[in-house]
Amino acid sequence: MKKNSIISAFILLGIISCQKMEKASPATEKVPAVDSTKLAVDSVSVSDSLKVNAKITGSFSAKVLVFPKLSDKSLLDSIYAVDKIQLEEYSKKNLEDAIKNKQKEYFASLKDDTKDLPVEFEQTWTQHSNEKVFSQQNGFLTVKYTGDGFSGGAHGYYYEYYKVFDLQNKKTLQLSDILVSPDSSVWKRALWDQFIKNDTGKGQSDMLLVSEISPNSNFYFDQQNLYFLYNQYEIAAYAAGTVLIKIPISDVKPMLKPEWKKRMKIN
């Protein structure tokens, strides 16, 4: 009995010591800082196919983002404008209903468009779209929109689009918020020079449809570079695909807005 009492005493002492250590540890531990500018993100998607007639099958898919904590209506309107969705309330259910309606409308129009269309071989007509958070940094949210489809003809289509949203000021970021004089010939020269410099082996310069390249609204950035993306037929032929031009920030610092550089922590 005496031996058991001694063992119990040691066990009790150990439990008390552990409790003291647990109470003391939060004072010395460093709790990671929470980035309050980052939004919680969810998504909804639909996907289905339909045999329209003996020769044509339709395929539809769509995915949209959901921002449960974002309440600014004008900002939400702008986020979903690319996919032509406009709602009074952008709840998860409402967004899911919206893309289900788009699917229903697509299949209905496909039936009408192909009703009397002479088709010699079996083919699948498609309409696909996707939204993805590309980056969240320094209070800027960049959403990447992609889509592709086919509706007969020689080839299908593809698009890739980026939109930057300023969460601090609750607005869609414009080029004029970043660049000094976006229409300046300086930017045309910078884009042209970087396009030629990075086209080695790609052959896109042989398929250009323009004699100069201007900044467009399809842009994004990080702390090292500005990126401008041009879709098929925008500055080059279909076969060239999308054209991405990267401009090093170190080359154009004097032509960037001081407020934007401060937000991005660029010295």
Instruction: Give me the CATH number covering residue 149.
Output: 3.30.565.40
Single-letter code of the amino acid located at 212:
E
DSSP 242: -
pLDDT tens digit string along 35-54?
455 899 999 999 999 999 99
User: What pLDDT, on the 0 to 100 scale, is given for residue 37?
Assistant: 59
pLDDT tier at 10, thresholds 50, 70, 90: very low
Is 218 found in the same domain as 131? no
- Nearest of 129, 140, 147 to residue 219 by alpha carbon: 140
Neighbours of 223 (CB within 10 A): 11
Q: Read off the tokens for 266.
A: 């660029």
Alpha helix positions (H), 115-184: none
Q: Is residue 141 part of a domain?
A: yes
Provide the residue range defining the domain that includes 220.
174-267
Neighbours of 260 (CB within 10 A): 18
* Model-wide pTM > 0.75: yes
Least confident of 55-69, 140-154, 188-202: 188-202
Q: Is residue 2 part of a domain?
A: no
Q: Is residue 129 part of a domain?
A: yes
Neighbours of 149 (CB within 10 A): 16
User: What pLDDT, on the 0 to 100 scale, is given for residue 201?
Assistant: 74
Average pLDDT over residues 105-127: 94
Instruction: Kindly give the pairing relationship between strand 123-137 and strand 56-66.
Output: parallel
How many residues are recorded in the chain? 267
pLDDT tens digit string along 13-38?
343 344 433 333 343 333 333 345 58
Is 156 found in the same domain as 115? yes
Q: Is residue 151 part of a domain?
A: yes
Identify whether the C-beta of residue 230 lies closer than 8 Å to the C-beta of residue 245. yes
Q: Is residue 238 part of a domain?
A: yes
Helix (H) or strand (E) holding 187: helix 185-197
Q: Is residue 165 part of a domain?
A: yes
